Amino acid sequence: MTTLLRHTDGTPFRDLNHNGTMEPYEDPRLPVEERVEDLLARMTLAEKAALMLHGRMLPGDQRILPGEHEPFPSGAQLIPDRGLTHFAMMAVPDARTMAQWNNHVQDLAAAGRLGIPVTLSSDPRHGFTANPATAHTGGGFSTGPEPIGLAATDDPALVHEYAALIGRELCAVGIRVAIHPMADLATEPRWARISGTFGEDPERASRMIDAYIRGLQGERIGPGSVACMTKHFPGGGPQEHGEDSHFAAGRRLVYPGGEFETHLRPFEAAFAAGTAQIMPAYAIPSGSGLAEVGANFNHDVITGLLRGKYGFDGVVCTDFNAITGMEVPGVVSLPPRHWGVEHLSVAEQVVLTLDAGADQLGGETDPGLILAAVASGAVDEQRIDASARRILRDKFRLGLFDDPYVDPDEAERVVGTEAGRALGREVQRRSLVHLAGEPPAGTRLYVEGVDPAVAARFGTVVDTVAEADLAVVRLRAPYEQREGLLEQHFHSGSLEFPAPVRVRQLPSHY
């Protein structure tokens, strides 16, 4: 832990560079901009390059398999070895353990030359979806509906209250960047990620996005905020044929009816709410008039549209492993999602990403990727400074330079309380659609896919359709089973029920 000293006037400060003097970047009284500029001037190019990587981390650096199979380079080791200070948590244990892990990695960072604190981030964790690429469960957090359920409430005040709960719980364990919300519109019914959106109506989605971001961040970002990384600009919903952009079949976005502008509207709400960060889409915005390359590499998307038209000056972090893919030795090899630039070398893709205007490379952990771009002459250090400045600004705004530590006891008290779970259940109830009317007393019910004990509260449950007055059949939505460790988690493809289900008939009196 960094030594806490006092200035000659009594001001307490963290001695981040270990010299016993309160430097401007260590001075909590100064404006964020002054602190950023002072620190930036002290950083080497290698330190700036490390700042521009947003890697992955497992608490305790757990291994997926025994022996030598490690899914990623040791997150904890990347801090002293390569100077990385941004990590997406791939798993979260109980609140106390997670809080202790945060404090451990902050100690590692504090031992560095400049003591730049770690920023921990996470995909959604408060719903029911468990997909290793998009959302996670665990950690004992209060649970509620997925975003599509939040949208079903059409109650911005309730969504704001629930998002504020999410923010308190994440903050308590040390997670300070939310890699959500998704501002994508669900205009393609075959797409596997609709549950993570706020639906297809741009007006409702905009209301929900506004409430969600303000709930997590507050009206302005500060030490109690969780910064939002809104995704997937310029709108990852209209996937061609409904295929997901994690895979080559989903490499294109399409806009039937010329509805490109419609898909931008929820992002406009995110900008108005002050979203701190943006993640571009993997896919190519085909037919939009923008360059025909993936949004992560797309100058038209990031510099032209996002920074130019909308004036966004926050952090832009690419979607993860667009450039190098991800290798889990002995388990799976996931190719890069470099749609539209597959023909370029890794070095050329890095240059293209930086030229497009991205600040961080999601999933990457090798500072050499950025250092090589500068050494080649294709990228100058001023361009690196522009990104480092934005990244440092968020660390300062979140209060991490002044106190990145959390209290494990407080984390246990805050996470998963009965009040938090009760709010999650209330939001879940509000998200349900109630069909008016109930069956008359004594109605004989035949059910499939429904708990018979629950159905028995509304009538007499019978064993066969022939005995019943009313049949309630609940079916799982159809999808095409895919191969591959990751792709099987995405329920994509045809929505047509198989023939045995389509031709099934109930007795004539139904």
Say if residues 219 and 167 touch (Cβ distance below 8 Å): no
The question of whether 27 is a catalytic residue gets the answer: no
Please return the burial class of 20, using the count of CB atoms within 10 Å of its CB with bins 0-12, 13-18 and 19+. Answer: exposed
Say if residues 338 and 323 touch (Cβ distance below 8 Å): yes
Q: Which residues contact 215 (CB under 8 A, 6 or more apart)?
A: 159, 160, 161, 162, 163, 164, 166, 167
Rounded Cα distance, 277 and 280, in Å: 10
Rounded Cα distance, 306 and 11, in Å: 40
How many C-beta neighbours within 10 Å does residue 112 have? 18
Strands 4-6 and 12-14, sheet pairing: antiparallel
| Of 425, 410, 404, residue with least CA distance to 96 | 410
Say if residues 290 and 278 touch (Cβ distance below 8 Å): no
Rounded Cα distance, 445 and 486, in Å: 40
**Residue of 184, 210, 319, 366 with catalytic role:** 319
Cis peptide before 232 (omega within 30 of 0): yes
Say if residues 148 and 186 touch (Cβ distance below 8 Å): yes
Q: Which residues contact 503 (CB under 8 A, 6 or more apart)?
A: none
Question: DSSP string covering 247-294, please?
Answer: SGGG-EE--GGG-HHHHHHHHHHHHHHT-SEEEE-SSEETTSSS-SS-
List the helix and strand counts (H, then E) for the chain. 16, 17
Q: Residue type at 446?
A: Y
Say if residues 163 and 212 touch (Cβ distance below 8 Å): yes
| Of 417, 397, 256, 380, residue with least CA distance to 313 | 397
Sheet containing strand 460-461, edge to edge, reads 460-461, 444-448, 470-473
Catalytic residues: 319
